[in-house]
Amino acid sequence: MTRKDIAGAATLAEARRLRADRARQVADVLRRQVLYGEFRSGELPPESDLAREFGASRNAIREALDLLRAEGLIERCPGVGTFVVAEKYPHGLERLLGLAETLREHGEVENEVRTTGLIAPSREVASRLRRPPGEPVVYIERIRRINGLPLSLDLTYIARDLGEPLLAEDLARNDIFVLLERIAGQRLGKAEVTIEAVNADPHSAAILDAPRGTALLMLERLTHLADGRPVDLEFVRFRGDRIAMSGTLHRVHP
Amino acid sequence: MTRKDIAGAATLAEARRLRADRARQVADVLRRQVLYGEFRSGELPPESDLAREFGASRNAIREALDLLRAEGLIERCPGVGTFVVAEKYPHGLERLLGLAETLREHGEVENEVRTTGLIAPSREVASRLRRPPGEPVVYIERIRRINGLPLSLDLTYIARDLGEPLLAEDLARNDIFVLLERIAGQRLGKAEVTIEAVNADPHSAAILDAPRGTALLMLERLTHLADGRPVDLEFVRFRGDRIAMSGTLHRVHP
């Protein structure tokens, strides 16, 4: 390799890097426009318009569109155009709501109940629900779908006194939150949540009808009654391509 | 295949499914215990103890530990034991804080500034920052590390009047939030955030020193000054294996 070849290669690598950086910038801005329905017709502007709008090369625009296609947000039909195919639903981070409550305007949530029953909880689960060791808790496992599309796999542990009456209810068509409030005769209060991104293991991916390794938004949520008693511990795997969580944070001085 | 073979195969598949379900339940509870430092010595209990604790088979426990190993939370040394190796940091969802502020107790945040400069924003970026079309904005791209480990890749757009003085500051060692408040002479107010899980494209994965396709926690955040003016639009890719976001939600009746 001559000195000139090496310099050429470095420049090529550098050019690729710059194009990838540019593509990421464009993709992030377009992602939001796609999600918030800015392209009302469902069709994105032609590449040349996007290149002008973003002051980017056609190649960088194509690479940006490839990133969004890989995320399942758009589909490109050569010679026809680029179309929004996202089935991504907004989930509020402001208020504690059940899924059907949250997605009311977006369609009907159906729950496929995979498992229900009394189980002997591990110490960790008993202690978080503030139940004595050895007392059984109710376990419910559901696949949740909106408009027929799998959205999440929910593992739920509920204190026995509320969980047993819950099992007599229609879990396929109702949020547990709504049923719990009716059974407890009081409203829910607060919930502590933790949100993580994890790659789906093969079995969870299959249940959610998603590719192996797909990014999941993993939500752990401990929900309390208004009187402060913790009653509902949930582990929810959302398909990352089907959910976006939004909220408002306020500055409080450190 | 005889009728008996088919029945046997169905039973085997069913047994596998049940074991995978059980492993997921165990992994979800253990994940939290690992993240919240419950295993103080850094070593998990032996499989036989875990099997008793969870009322699960040794095979289900092994499968649960495999799930956590795949997430990078634990490592298993055959004949020695199972150890916590997670480098996962808590990020509050309660208050609007810069990364160094949030992680103060966990180590030092260093920022590698990849790019800075004035750019012509797309209409979407200009409109979200409420700047007139054609007015340049300041763009800053940073890799953020804690204790030397890559945590996030941040793409930041800032209104020109605040962004230009910002570029004269030490961006490697300071949160933009803190610098912005000093330059603006007022505190930050609220921020609108959207959180998603996405698989890393190859280029972003390489920047974050993570495997291709790794699950990223993607944060979009529009931050306002206390007077309500939007000044800072960010797109942050967190490595999913390095961050857990936590907060409290309150029930407000629908």
B173 at A interface, C-beta within 8 A:
no
Distance, in Å, from the CA atom of A111 to the CA atom of A107, rounded to the nearest integer, reads 13
Q: What element of type H or E holds B110? A: strand B109-119
Out of A132-136, B14-18, B94-98, B156-160, pick the least confident.
B94-98
Neighbours of A182 (CB within 10 A): 13
Which amino acid would we find at residue A58? R
Both ends of chain A: CA-CA distance in Å?
56
- Cβ atoms of B199 and B214 within 8 Å: the answer is yes
Structure tokens given for B175: 């949160």
Count of alpha carbons within 13 Å of B244, Cβ hemisphere only?
20
CATH for A3-84 is 1.10.10.10
Which amino acid would we find at residue A134? G
- pLDDT tens-place string over residues B159-208: 999 999 999 999 999 999 999 999 999 999 999 999 999 999 999 999 99
pLDDT band for position A37 (50/70/90)? Answer: confident
Q: What interface predicted TM-score (ipTM) does this complex get?
A: 0.90
For testing the chain B interface, which of A14, A138, A221, A249 should be mutated: the one with the most B CBs within 10 Å?
A249
- pLDDT tens-place string over residues A151-177: 999 999 999 999 999 999 999 999 999
Q: Identify any residues that bridge with A198 across adjacent strands, giving them in sequence order.
A: A216
- Mean pLDDT in chain A? 91
- Is residue A5 pLDDT above 60, yes or no? no
Residue by residue, DSSP assigns chain A as --HHHHHHHHHHHHHHHHHHHHHHHHHHHHHHHHHTT-STTSBPPPHHHHHHHHT--HHHHHHHHHHHHHTTSEEEETTTEEEE----EEEESSB---HHHHTGGG--EEEEEEEEEEE---HHHHHHTT--TT--EEEEEEEEEETTEEEEEEEEEEEHHHHHHHHTS-TTTS-HHHHHHHHHTS-EEEEEEEEEEEEPPHHHHHHTT--TT-EEEEEEEEEEETTS-EEEEEEEEEEGGGEEEEEEEE----
- Is residue A3 pLDDT above 60, yes or no? no
Set of chain A residues whose Cβ sits within 8 Å of the Cβ of B180:
none
Set of chain A residues whose Cβ sits within 8 Å of the Cβ of B187:
251, 253
- Mean pLDDT in chain B? 91
- pLDDT tens-place string over residues B44-54: 999 999 999 99
Set of chain A residues whose Cβ sits within 8 Å of the Cβ of B29:
122, 124-125
Out of B9-13, B60-64, B207-211, B245-249, pick the least confident.
B9-13
- pLDDT tens-place string over residues A39-67: 878 899 999 999 999 999 999 999 999 99
Taking an 8 Å cut-off on Cβ atoms, the answer to whether B190 and A248 are in contact is: yes
Residues in A 58-117 with any Cβ partner in B closer than 8 A: 67, 70-71, 93-97, 101, 104, 114-115
Least Cα distance to B233 among B170, B160, B166, B156 occurs for B156
For residue A180, count CB atoms less than 10 angstroms from its CB and return exposed for 0-12, middle for 13-18, buried for 19 or more: buried
Q: What is the model's pLDDT at position A8? A: 66
- Is residue A211 pLDDT above 50, yes or no? yes
- Is CATH 3.40.1410.10 the right assignment for the domain spanning A89-246? yes
- Is residue A1 pLDDT above 80, yes or no? no
- pLDDT tens-place string over residues A75-123: 998 888 999 998 888 888 877 888 888 888 888 899 999 999 999 999 9
- pLDDT tens-place string over residues A176-192: 999 999 999 999 999 99
Set of chain B residues whose Cβ sits within 8 Å of the Cβ of A123:
53
Distance, in Å, from the CA atom of B48 to the CA atom of B40, rounded to the nearest integer, reads 19
B24 at A interface, C-beta within 8 A:
yes
A249 at B interface, C-beta within 8 A:
yes
- Is residue B21 pLDDT above 50, yes or no? yes
Q: What is the model's pLDDT at position B1? A: 44
DSSP category for residue B43:
B
Domain definitions of chain B by residue range: 3-84, 89-246
- Cβ atoms of A112 and A153 within 8 Å: the answer is no
B199 at A interface, C-beta within 8 A:
yes
Set of chain B residues whose Cβ sits within 8 Å of the Cβ of A187:
251, 253
Distance from CA of B197 to the nearest CA of A (A): 5
Distance from CA of B79 to the nearest CA of A (A): 25
Closest partner CB to A254 (pick from B97, B141, B203): B97
